[in-house]
Structure 1
Amino acid sequence: MTNLLWPGEHRAGEHMTDAALLDAMVAVESAWLAALTGAGLAPADCAAADLRNLVAGNDSETLAVAAEDGGNPVIGLVRLLRERADPAVAPWIHRGLTSQDVLDTALMLGVRALADDLIAELREQIRVLSALTDRHRATPMVARTLTQHAAPTTFGAKAAGWLNGVIDAFDNVIALVIPVQIGGAAGTLAASTELAALRTGTADPAAVSVELARGTAAALGLAPRPPGTPPAHRSPRPPTPSSAAPTAGAVSPRTSSPWPARRSANSVSRRPLPAAARRRCRTSETRCCPS
């Protein structure tokens, strides 16, 4: 999509639309319900429940209006899901969660999708710049210092500097930990722990509660978060802006001319670059500079 007030939104805005957020919130509720069922805390009938079939695209507008009263769209979503779900399933939807758990985790799903797109773009830029560095390792050019001509260099060396910046940005994004945001109202998993104690009689209901959060994280493709994290302190590690800033600098307009168009991230690998590729990129500047 495009937006005159938010230039660049067409590159990743699809991950943060109303429809995307609604889908993500339902995914969180579904994953949590599945975790409850798998742990024996919710009836077996809940295993067959498909919450995605209970919402439609036009529900976003209704939920947005309802959010004015409660301050978030989760309250209206839970009410809607329970009204439309099977009566045997309805009481277990959202059981043990708080609204911020659902909304924050849904936002993390959007951040993960954005990161995957960015990884795909950076991989392509690394490929293009690696080829550019090799092709022009002996192409002479004038270096500059304080805006004036300096000693000779090569265009390959200049491209290698761009390449190293993009690799650093790639490393920052790969290292981004995007955790699930489940902790309950006080960040202590108290509600799900109490539920585990009542339903299972286990001597360690807190451990069951922690596994619920871990299982939900795994189902959503997010990292687990240590229990006891207060709601006010929930954020990706390292913070997303800290990872995005070097990336923006590495692909700033002054060095962006070699970049190709974006490509799909449907089959993105989040694995780091091979060590051999990194060594080749790191040594390219030395190789390109005349002795």
Structure 2
Amino acid sequence: MRTAPETPADVRRHNLARVLRHLSDHGPCSRGEAAAATGLAHGSLTALTADLVGRGLVREAGLVPGGGRGRPRRHLETVPDRVVSVAVRVTRERLHLAVADLSGRLGHRSDVAHSTPDGDPGALADALAAAVRETADAARDAHPGAHLAGAFLAVPGPVTAGGRVFSTDFGWPGPVDLGALLRDRLGEAAGPVTLANDANLAALAEYRALTVLRGAPPRSLAYLKADVGVGGGLVVDGRIEAGGHGVAGEPGHMPVAFDGPPCPCGGRGCLALYLGPEALT
């Protein structure tokens, strides 16, 4: 969700993230190049990069001739394996897990089948907790000394601004705080738990891929998918645009026929009933 920094600490954290993201996306560059790309003053950029170097997130990558008079430029680059996370994609029948570092490179992977009954979010949370705990242990073994940033879950169905998941795929009659159920089971074993809609994350991945392909970020991107039902996501200026209720860009349960057939979401004539894979096939 889009929020404006409120305190000097928030502003600093935001600027640290800008610098780190630029170095991650665009590879080694000098402090001057990073300052120009992020719009930060050179003095501020120098202080921020010193902080990132001190945290072990960034390192100096050697000297590069400046192409003119003056001292050679000292390039900076990220230290990808300084931070790792557990990435999980949740589907109706399987849990796909991987360990990812700052560069997005995947390490340990596993693919776990689950057969949790419809309407029982606790059973899904049990299966998730066991799989996430095992993957977190693998991350610590493969990356000793790295910081485990937490577990990040891509889930089917809208995720509200309050973090509740609305998923008809699992037969849940209403929004479920799946994150809270998982945190209760994991404790501190995997760090913070973050949930996001799978289509939103797919939209963000496509946005970043286009940025690399074109050499510049697109202004915005709309993404549609149809594997179970119809989902979608919006990205504006590099951020997921989820709207005030967390469901912007989700077309599957927009009614297109008010006298249409009943939908598991409680509505009638939703788009997914006509254009979803089940309906089409």
Both structures adopt the same fold (TM-score exceeding 0.5): no
TM-score, with length taken from structure 1: 0.26
Bigger Rg over Cα: 1
Structure holding more strand per residue = 2
State the TM-score, normalized to the length of structure 2: 0.26
Determine which structure has the larger helix proportion and give its number. 1
